Structure 1
Amino acid sequence: MARPLAWLARLALRTKVTLVVVAAVVLAITVTVAASYRSVSELVGNELERGLEDRADTVTTLLAASRKPPVRPDTTEQLLLADGTVRPLSPGRHLLPVSEADRRVARTGAGTNRRDVVVSGREYGVLTKPLPDGGAVMVGQHYQGAVRVENAFLWRVPWTTLAATGLSAVLSWIVLGRILRPVRRLARATGRITTTQDLSTPLPPAGADEIGQLTRSFDAMLGALRRSRAQQQQLVQDASHELRTPLTSVRGSAELLQRARGRLDPQDEEQILTTLVTETTALDELVRELVELATDRYTGEDPTSVDLPAVAEDSAQRYRQRTGRDISVTVEGPVPVRARPRALQRCVDNLLSNAVKFSEAPAPIVLRVDGSRLTVRDHGPGIAPDDRHAVFDRFFRGPRTQSIPGSGLGLAIVHDIITADEGTVFATGATGGGAEVGFQLPPHPKKPAGRSLPFPREHHQ
């Protein structure tokens, strides 16, 4: 059902464009014919008037020389004497009707008279001119030839228009078929992708025109979808692997309590319950991190100018109260950064949480802001050189931190948020032990007012 509908849609587009082209051709021909007909009519009318004047002058000259004018098939001539008598000059022709104006010209020998008359069903143009010796000559020229030319012109116009319209329709249909061929190929490819859900389906070759640009845009979109699907599949695989360990521990502890049914020593029972609480807490943290990583609940924020030292001081203050740790903030040459405010706060919280987790008390933690760069320095086990890029991968746990509880998602969230705001993340070893982990964001040209947070505080438990 989808293919016939798609074919009809393509046919409709092709037909609509063809009809537009045909309508434009018909309009152009109509305007051209109308303008040409008007110009030709004026030209023919002027030629007829000139011919009538020339014939009257010729007859007058020949009569003055006492010569008889030659007979022409399209004209008729007659003399009009001063007393109103009419003498034909063209034997066998109908006499032209005489008006009072004609008689006045013949009687006075001054002026001319031009009018149209109908004689025996033919339309004549009649010109009356005075003769030098008195009286006047009346010359009539019928319009049958001009009418025949006009009728032939008007008769040929519809056939010419029809032929031109048909030719333009055929050529437009053929040319549009070639033009829309890449669109049909792209539509077939996207139709296969929609039906099969196979994002690896190749698209047709892209040219340099607008259709090629559309194809490249589709290809880029498919590439993003492929990467997104691969990341989702990888996230599901990693999450299932990470969830399996705490779930196995919880299930084993619960089954042990079920089988023992109060026969365990209080000390063993307390240990099992502690394990249950610890693993449940780890599961809760892991699920929360997974949901946050998968949904990116900060996408609704718009990037704005953020005061990075204010964000750092706010997070440091909350973690001092929460953990009792020595957390200091140093600032050097700060500049406002362009970021999503709450997402940026989450990044700093994750970095501090990571430092508190891997750096035992009373070791101090230093949060340093240098320009648009923020670094968290701890005194933990440090990061091996080979792991400095991998620490931002999801569920990564280095050899030195395998025994420390955690989901392995905190730095992955930092990476996703910062890179989405066109920033970069880094992790290095620190002089004297420990690690330095942080990020750098692009500066914002607009400096925020004051030193306060440009957003409400958001606490994470």
Structure 2
Amino acid sequence: MNQPAHAGGHAPPSGVPTAQAPKRWSLRSRVAMLAALCVAGAVALVSIGAYVTVRGNLYDQVDSALVARASSVLNDRKVMETGGEQIPGYLFQLADVRFDLVDARGDSLLRHPGGRPPVDVPEISVAAGASSQSIRTDGGSDMRVLSVPYEYADGVALVVAQSLDDTRRSLGALAVVLFVIGGSGIVVAALAGTAVARGGLRPVERLTAATERVANTGDLRPIPVSGDDELARLTHSFNTMLAAVADAQQRQRQLVADAGHELRTPLTSLRTNLELLLAAGRSDAPELAEQDREEIENDIRAQLDELTQLIGDLSLLARADNPHAVQERVDLVEVVERALDRARRRAGDTRFDVTLQPWILAGDPNVLERAVLNLLDNAVKFSSEGGTVRVRLQAVGDGSAVLQVADSGPGIAQADLPHVFDRFYRSSEARALPGSGLGLAIVKQAAERHGGAVWAANAPEGGAVFSLRVPGAPGG
């Protein structure tokens, strides 16, 4: 029996748990843990250093005390007799230590009820004269044992031992104190790290909330900024990005709205003319005069040309908004000459007065050629019959060059000068002429895309002058 197929692969068997990705700690937890670990490492190093130093000092004190007592015994000339042996009387004043006199075989030369100190190979070596001194810690009795040669008899060693119980208790108390203080420091560091992470990451949380808000609602309001640290600069950058996105959306909406408005008129006219032709083709309709049919067909061709130009201009504007533009070495003189060749073919009896200086820049030659061609076509459109279009390209001395295109027309009205580069803007004189109202907008966008600018003015001798400035360097 065939089993039903599952899209994207086989479904896991029922009752079998699926593997889940391990949850990662939040950034706040990681900051707090990092602070605690850093403090723990520092506390551990300091504690180990303090413990080792104190332990060494305490052992040194025990050793120094044993050496001092042994020296006192050896320098004491008072002799007492005990069990037939003459020994210094100072030995019996060592009440808090264990002592003994041992020979080279390790046997004691004293008879007293006190406990003997530990005697092993090091002490026997001193008694036999093989070593000048021995000091060690006896693990069995937990005592510090010192042995030195006994000056009053040959082959005898004085052995002095002191318990390390007090030293061990002091070291144990120190270890407890270091552990408590170190543990408290780690806890405080973790709490402080959490507090610092909470306060320091608050701007990041705001950025996260803003990102989620933008993704869910499209709300591009800026985020409040406080302070001047790195996170504040990050917030400023994020707000700048939001403003750029909002501006792009606004320009996109405006472009769509303007395009819809501009397309409505030619489409309506085109539809009307097509309906007239279709209606005239019916068998019961009156015959359409040949002249009327020709006028309608010419109108349709003109409207199709207008739609084609408008769609092409819109596509060019959309491509010009692409941030990943092609950048290459461009000879601006070659670009202008190619645009002039195209403009002359449709300029009729309009003449061109051209003066060009070599200029090189980095950019997109196709976009620049279209911008120059739009300036030339605009100048031809507004020039009088048989007029001259003046084209000048020259360096201006600030690392940029200016291309000027001047027509021989009536010029631009003062009320229209601030708006001539707006999308779909057409002056009252231009509305009677063909065009989409996007040509000069394309020029402005091309100039800004190449780090330049464009402006319009009226020439003193008459006519309009459009100037396109671009950065670069003189050509060789």
Q: Which of the five TM-score ranges fits, normalised by the shorter chain?
A: 0.7 to 0.9
Task: Kindly provide the amino acid, as one letter, of the partner of residue 381 in structure 2.
Answer: K
2-side partners of 1:293 and 1:438: how far apart?
Answer: 20
2-side partners of 1:180 and 1:120: how far apart?
Answer: 58
Shift of 1:426: 1.3
Change (3 A) 1:353 1:58: same
1:249-270: CA deviation from partner (whole Å, max 9, x where unpaired): 1111111222222711001111
Task: Kindly provide the amino acid, as one letter, of the partner of residue 352 in structure 2.
Answer: I
1:386-422: CA deviation from partner (whole Å, max 9, x where unpaired): 2222110111111222210100100001101101222
1:115-154: CA deviation from partner (whole Å, max 9, x where unpaired): 4474973433132232246654322223222233333334
Which segment is superposed worse, 406-415 or 42-51? 42-51
Shift of 1:296: 1.8
Aligned to 2:7: none
Q: Secondary structure of the residue that 1:389 maps to in structure 2?
A: helix
Aligned to 1:428: 457
Task: Kindly provide the amino acid, as one letter, of the partner of residue 221 in structure 1.
Answer: M
Contact 1:125 1:141 in 2 (8 A): yes
Aligned to 2:51: 37
Aligned to 1:382: 411
2-side partners of 1:76 and 1:225: how far apart?
Answer: 89
360, 376, 399: which one pairs with 1:336?
A: 360
1:334-391: CA deviation from partner (whole Å, max 9, x where unpaired): 5434443222112111111212222254222221112110011212232112222211
Shift of 1:245: 1.0
Contact 2:33 2:193 in 1 (8 A): no
Which segment is superposed worse, 205-214 or 254-263? 254-263
Task: Kindly provide the amino acid, as one letter, of the partner of residue 438 in structure 1.
Answer: S
177, 191, 196: which one pairs with 1:170?
A: 191
2-side partners of 1:105 and 1:293: how far apart?
Answer: 103
2-side partners of 1:173 and 1:428: how far apart?
Answer: 63
2-side partners of 1:10 and 1:396: how far apart?
Answer: 56
Contact 1:358 1:404 in 2 (8 A): no
Q: Does 1:276 align with 2:290?
A: no
Task: Kindly provide the amino acid, as one letter, of the partner of residue 422 in structure 1.
Answer: G
2-side partners of 1:119 and 1:11: how far apart?
Answer: 48
Shift of 1:54: 0.6
45, 64, 79: which one pairs with 1:50?
A: 64
Q: Does 1:291 align with 2:310?
A: no
Q: Does 1:249 align with 2:269?
A: yes
Which segment is superposed worse, 378-387 or 268-277? 378-387
Change (3 A) 1:412 1:119: closer
* Matches for 1:256-267 after TM superposition, within 5 Å: 256-261=276-281, 263-267=287-291
Change (3 A) 1:35 1:354: same
100, 108, 111: which one pairs with 1:78?
A: 100
Aligned to 2:145: 125
Q: Does 1:370 align with 2:394?
A: yes
Structure 2 residue ranges without an equivalent (≥5): 1-21, 80-87, 396-400
Change (3 A) 1:30 1:99: closer
Contact 1:206 1:216 in 2 (8 A): no
Aligned to 1:394: 423
Question: TM-score, with normalisation over the residues of structure 2?
Answer: 0.82
Q: Does 1:327 align with 2:327?
A: no
Q: Secondary structure of the residue that 2:415 maps to in structure 1?
A: helix
Aligned to 1:410: 439
Contact 2:126 2:147 in 1 (8 A): no
Aligned to 2:6: none
Contact 1:338 1:441 in 2 (8 A): no
Shift of 1:299: 4.5
Q: Secondary structure of the residue that 2:287 maps to in structure 1?
A: coil
Change (3 A) 1:227 1:81: closer
Q: Does 1:215 align with 2:229?
A: no
The runs of 4+ residues in structure 1 deviating greater than 6 Å are: 8-11, 81-85
Aligned to 1:3: none
Contact 1:128 1:136 in 2 (8 A): yes
1:45-64: CA deviation from partner (whole Å, max 9, x where unpaired): 32222222111011222354
Which segment is superposed worse, 180-189 or 130-139? 130-139
Aligned to 1:228: 248
132, 145, 148: which one pairs with 2:169?
A: 148
Task: Kindly provide the amino acid, as one letter, of the partner of residue 463 in structure 2.
Answer: G
Which segment is superposed worse, 355-364 or 388-397? 355-364
Question: TM-score, with normalisation over the residues of structure 1?
Answer: 0.85
Structure 1 residue ranges without an equivalent (≥5): 1-7, 450-461
Q: Secondary structure of the residue that 2:166 maps to in structure 1?
A: helix
Aligned to 1:455: none
2-side partners of 1:257 and 1:304: how far apart?
Answer: 50
Aligned to 1:139: 160
Coordinate RMSD, CA, aligned: 3.0
2-side partners of 1:117 and 1:196: how far apart?
Answer: 77
Shift of 1:69: 4.3
Name the count of aligned residue pairs: 436
Change (3 A) 1:105 1:383: closer
Q: Secondary structure of the residue that 1:218 maps to in structure 2?
A: helix
Which segment is superposed worse, 253-262 or 15-24? 253-262
